[in-house]
Structure 1
């Protein structure tokens, strides 16, 4: 079982806040709305606002039209035709307004799958940087956050999950994933709340 808190010490200039998919696509009015995204938004706003130049926002970009995506994604977007770009108001792809005002200096990275690593853009952005620690917030805990975290672990990053800045549309699987992070990745994931992270990030 992983110890709670920042067991590997303080945070600093080698730390990057990765905020996963806090978009209108997952807010009120969207077919993919996450009911408690608004609950964690203030924590994300504070973290990103304090460290805007060391924040990267990812955005999930759906397929253009049903059936256009590769492989099993084609079937996925036949099921979710209403959220393809051809059928979706473009505003839903945007970050939530209180976060979009932070970019720049925050960075924005678009992706078409759950992981920000698969298409290579994040690796290219981080190549040559001093970042060795990723502080992760956003949603969903059990889908895109999971993909982000596993990719970061594989690349050797120190990973910090901010407990009160994560959300999911399923309480059950959110809780299950938090238990997985704590119990199975005790050497590679630290779990702390916003107050602890802000206090340690100098």
Structure 2
């Protein structure tokens, strides 16, 4: 069960043209913006990654706007765990479980999730906030990651799990994000 005092969010490489050509890109980006807003509402640590932004471009504007209080971490390795700044940021939190979102599922998401598992963290893929150009690549990545110990959740499932009670202060505002 996810707990907001032990959970963080990683947003991976939702940049440039690639973000607009992944499978079901509009729904993916919309869900990811909702996830980021919910994570901020719940006070979760958020780590935002950009892969080689000089070549791939910046994070899409609507997601940049949602991430307004977070600084992106530039990376060049496919796994964010190959970037010391990211590993330091991960270790400087009190997080036990990382929610993983972004693109592409079979490359940077896959390798980052494996890296976090290797570092001893629990990992949950937010299924409707992860994408690839081809749905088959997403499905393959998820299948391999589940066999290696990750869990799969969705935007609504993780949100309600983190809130836990309809009397929680964040409930109404969180509900408005997904309705």
TM-score, scaled to structure 1 = 0.72
| Aligned twin of 1:11 | 3
Structure 2's unaligned 5+ residue stretches are 164-179
Structure 2 counterpart SS, 1:50 = helix
Match of 1:59 in 2: 50
Instruction: After the TM superposition, list the runs of 4 or more consecutive aligned residues in structure 1 that deviate by more than 4 angstroms.
Output: none
Q: Quick one: which of 107, 115, 124 aligns to 1:151? A: 115
Aligned counterpart in structure 2 of residue 201 of structure 1, from 134, 137, 162: 162
CA distance in 2, matches of 1:16, 1:195: 16
- Of structures 1 and 2, the larger Rg is shown by 1
Higher helix share: 2
State the structure with bigger RCO (CA 8 A, min sep 6), 1 or 2: 1
Contact 2:36 2:67 in 1 (8 A): no
Asked whether the equivalents of residues 19 and 55 of structure 1 are also in contact (C-alpha less than 8 Å), the reply is yes
Deviation at residue 11 of structure 1 after TM alignment: 2.3
Is 2:129 the partner of 1:129?
no
| Equivalent position of 2:152 in the other structure | 191
**What is the alpha-carbon distance in structure 1 between the residues aligned to residue 32 and residue 120 of structure 2?**
24
SS across alignment from 2:11: strand
**What CA deviation, in whole Å up to 9, does each residue of 1:32-51 have, x standing for no partner?**
x4253323111111110111
Is residue 41 from structure 1 mapped to residue 33 from structure 2 by the alignment?
A: no
Structure 1 unmatched ranges of 5 or more: 1-8, 63-84
| Shift in alpha-carbon separation, 1:176–1:130, aligned structure 2, 3 A | same
SS of aligned partner of 1:159:
strand
* Matched ranges for 1:64-143 at <5 A: 85=54, 93-143=57-107
Residues in 2 aligned to 1:112 and 1:174: alpha-carbon distance in whole angstroms: 21
- CA distance in 2 between partners of 1:191 and 1:181 (Å): 9
Q: CA deviation at 1:27?
A: 3.3
User: Using the alignment, how far apart are the partners of 1:39 and 1:50 within structure 2?
Assistant: 16
TM-score by length of 2: 0.81
> Contact (CA 8 Å) 2:23, 2:134: kept in 1 or not?
no
SS in structure 1 at match of 2:32: helix
